C-alpha cells in the first residue's frame, strides 16, 4: 500500500515517546533510530511528533531527480531479458484502423 504516516507513540511502561515513521516502501511503521541502533526517546509527545514530521518531509523533499535519465538502457542481463519480455522482444506490430 502506498501510505505514509508520521506520529508519536508512547513507549510501553510510560518512559517517553518514540517518533514513528511509515514510508510507502515499508509494510509497517518503524521508530526513528538514534545512535547504536536504538530508537530515539523523546520526553514529550510534541517533540516526538515534530521529529516524525521533520523526517517525513525530508524524505518526500529529499529525493533529487535532477540528472537522472528515465529512458536509459538497463544494465544487467536479467533486467534486459525482462525488458525484452514486456516490450515484445523488439518486434514491431503493425496496427490498422478499420
Name residues of the chain where pLDDT drops below 70. Answer: 1, 63-75, 87-93
Within a domain: 22: yes
- How many C-beta neighbours within 10 Å does residue 48 have? 26
Q: Is 33 helix (H, G, I), strand (E, B) or coil?
A: strand
Residue with cell 514491431: 92
The model carries a pTM of: 0.59
Residue 97 falls inside a structural domain: no
Q: Is position 87 within any domain?
A: yes
Separation between Cα atoms, residue 52 and residue 22, nearest integer Å: 10
Give the Cα separation of 63 and 66 in Å (integer). 9
Supply the Cα-derived Rg of the chain in whole angstroms: 22
The boundaries of the domain holding residue 53 are 1-91
Per the structure, the count of domains in the chain is 1
Would you say residue 43 lies in a domain?
Answer: yes
| Inside any domain, residue 25 | yes
Contact 52, 7 (CB under 8 A): yes
Position 8 in a domain: yes
Task: Say what the pLDDT of residue 70 is.
Answer: 52
- Confidence at residue 48, expressed as pLDDT on a 0 to 100 scale: 95
Amino acid at each position: 500500500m502506498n501510505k505514509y504516516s508520521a506520529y508519536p507513540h508512547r513507549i510501553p511502561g510510560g518512559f517517553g515517546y518514540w517518533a514513528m515513521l511509515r514510508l510507502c516502501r515499508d509494510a509497517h511503521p518503524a521508530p526513528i533510530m538514534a545512535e547504536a541502533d536504538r530508537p530515539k526517546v523523546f520526553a514529550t509527545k510534541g517533540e516526538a511528533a515534530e521529529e516524525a514530521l521533520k523526517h517525513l518531509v525530508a524524505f518526500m523533499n529529499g529525493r533529487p531527480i535532477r540528472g537522472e535519465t528515465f529512458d536509459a538502457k538497463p544494465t544487467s542481463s536479467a533486467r534486459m531479458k525482462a525488458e525484452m519480455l514486456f516490450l515484445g522482444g523488439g518486434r514491431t506490430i503493425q496496427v490498422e484502423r478499420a
